[in-house]
Amino acid sequence: MAHVITRPCCNDGSCVSVCPVNCIHPTPDEPDFMTAEMLYIDPETCIDCGACIDECPVEAIYPDDQLEEKDEPYLQINADYYKDHDVEGGLVPPRKSPPLPDKELHVAIVGAGPAAFYAAQHLVAKQSVKVDMFDRLPTPYGLVRAGVAPDHAATKGVERTYASTANKRNFAYFLNVEVGKHVTHDELAERYHAVVYAVGAATDKRLGIAGEDLPGSISATEFVAWYNGHPDYAHFDVDLSGERAVVVGNGNVALDVARILVSDPAALAKTEIADHALAKLRESNIREVVLLGRRGVAQGAYTNSEFLALGDVRGVDVIIDPDELTLDPASAAAEADGSLDSTIATKVRLAREFAGRSSTPGNKRIVFRYLTSPVSIEGGGRTEKVVCVRNAFVDDADRVAVTATGETFDLPTGLVLRSIGYRGTPVGDLPFDAVRGIVPNDGGRVTAEAGGDVVPGLYVTGWIKRGPTGGIGRNRLCGEETAAAVLADFIAGTLTDPAISRADVADLVTGRGANRITLAGWKAIDAVEKSAGKSAGRRLLKIVTVEEFEKTAATAEG
């Protein structure tokens, strides 16, 4: 019997480190780890020890004889990875870390998302390292709380790992504290050996087409924040009066948006979706969501696990026109000679299976339109339709390129959501690469410019470090790399000792109007949300306003 990794896989690699026979790949040491959709267990090497099950933070691993019917395709998905990836089993030698100097290291981390926590986890493992984590929001966990879809509760299991880090004696929260307003970067630099920015990519990419700013045209970023109860979007307005919504993009966020729009509100009512969003979705008239993908099915940016899961949404048909499943020349040639990458091959196979299914009268619909781009959004004062153009592949040996044809068509709709990626924004006075949307850095060490000199004591991790690519697993590797750079610089003696004690930071931010929320305050918030959720038959019931967060936290702050 072998074990199988299924859809909730978070890629954080916890399972890799405990596997005694190295049967889980790609590992963080392998190049594919940075781009892998998920991790895979080699059925030929697995010895059924169960160590990975105990370690998995999102409960994604099962013995192959205990899989639910809907998860049985993962038997093949796991095995397929090893068709074109040559890996070897065997014991993984432990890594040894050099000793730290005989003094404390003080680190400020700005941001409280996955990359921030993985950096903190690596740092607080050393008792002499003190970490203070700052975030302008009253809550931690970043996009795990405000970005992961509410019906993907298993993925949020990584919060347990983060909570364990926050409980360390050498860790402290400064939640509800905005760097740049309540405390400046220079003040942090004076009080800490190192300052690590883990602020993510704050904005979405634009389409750059006419009508993009009409009412009814919004970003998926805003919509996701709204249904996840982000306090900045508690009063955001979404018009769900029409029967069709159009989502531009076909990554996992686009699939999340489409799924939430057509899911049965009764099913969503069992999740941690924000109450204001649930109320609006109960009144929704949306019957169809159309996803527009600029390129072909082989270039779909969604993961196979999320694509497969759409077929399990009750009362919803996935519609794909077989004639639109055109492969680019390179993929078609690779498929013909049997060399097509296993992940892409699975993506194509699943799309063909969806295209072969019959529709059910009365069901809602998620429609995939490949090789299609929006040309403009039009309407008399608000969104009424999207004008689209059909694309065709261009013969280009270096990349998969497309060009617009002369064929256009209209999609009547009152709601358009752009979901074509995130983009980083400048961070205070830090150096910034406007082309890539990142702070220039060398392995996490901030540089004056790309390839320039390192700025001592200043670091980045996560999307602001490498751009908005990869999920939880890649953020773990990214955070650990930055933390290792901080420790290496401390050992090398290149970090300047703080000129001022960090002991005054709490009074400093309070004096500037911050209602700081500590670990005790966050635990009070968490307890209230979970208690309210239990009473309602849900995982938790989210607080969504800053005022209520502060009021709840105050009961424990003392």
Q: Tell me, what amino acid is at 195?
A: V
User: 226 a known binding residue?
Assistant: no
Q: How far apart are CA 98 and CA 532, in angstroms?
A: 47
User: 472 a known binding residue?
Assistant: yes
Give me the residues paired with residue 364 across strands.
Answer: 316
Assess contact for 149 and 259: CB atoms under 8 A: yes
User: 536 a known binding residue?
Assistant: no
Q: Which two tokens stand for residue 316?
A: 């919803």
User: 191 a known binding residue?
Assistant: no
User: 159 a known binding residue?
Assistant: no
Assess contact for 136 and 180: CB atoms under 8 A: no
User: 457 a known binding residue?
Assistant: no
Find where tokens 């999740």 sit: 271
Given strand 441-442, what is the order of strands in its sheet? 171-175, 129-135, 105-110, 194-197, 454-460, 445-447, 441-442
User: 252 a known binding residue?
Assistant: yes
User: 22 a known binding residue?
Assistant: no
E strands, 280-362, are 288-292, 316-320
Assess contact for 8 and 68: CB atoms under 8 A: no
Q: Backbone phi, then psi, for 124, in 5-degree steps?
A: -75, -5
Helix axes 342-355 and 73-81, enclosed angle (nearest 10): 150
54 burial level (CB within 10 Å; 0-12, 13-18, 19+): exposed
User: 250 a known binding residue?
Assistant: yes
User: 467 a known binding residue?
Assistant: no
Q: Pick from 422, 260, 251: which is nearest to 347 by CA?
A: 251
User: 349 a known binding residue?
Assistant: no
Cα distances (Å, whole numbers) of residue 251 to 183, 320, 403: 37, 16, 20
Rg value, the chain, Cα = 24
User: 244 a known binding residue?
Assistant: no
Helix axes 472-492 and 114-124, enclosed angle (nearest 10): 40
User: 400 a known binding residue?
Assistant: no
Q: How far apart are CA 132 and CA 141, in angstroms?
A: 15
User: 463 a known binding residue?
Assistant: yes
**Pairing, β 454-460 against β 422-423:** unpaired
Q: How far apart are CA 553 and CA 375, in angstroms?
A: 48
Indicate the length of the chain as a whole number.
558
Count CA within 13 A, CB hemisphere, residue 271. 24
Between the two ends of the chain, the Cα-to-Cα distance in Å is 54
Q: How far apart are CA 64 and CA 48, in angstroms?
A: 10
Q: Tell me, what amino acid is at 381?
A: G
Q: Which two tokens stand for residue 78?
A: 């796991």
**Which residues are annotated as part of the binding site?**
115, 143, 179, 250-253, 294-295, 306, 463, 470-472
**Which residues are annotated as part of the binding site for NADP(+)?**
250-253, 294-295, 306, 470
**Which residues are annotated as part of the binding site for FAD?**
115, 143, 179, 463, 470-472
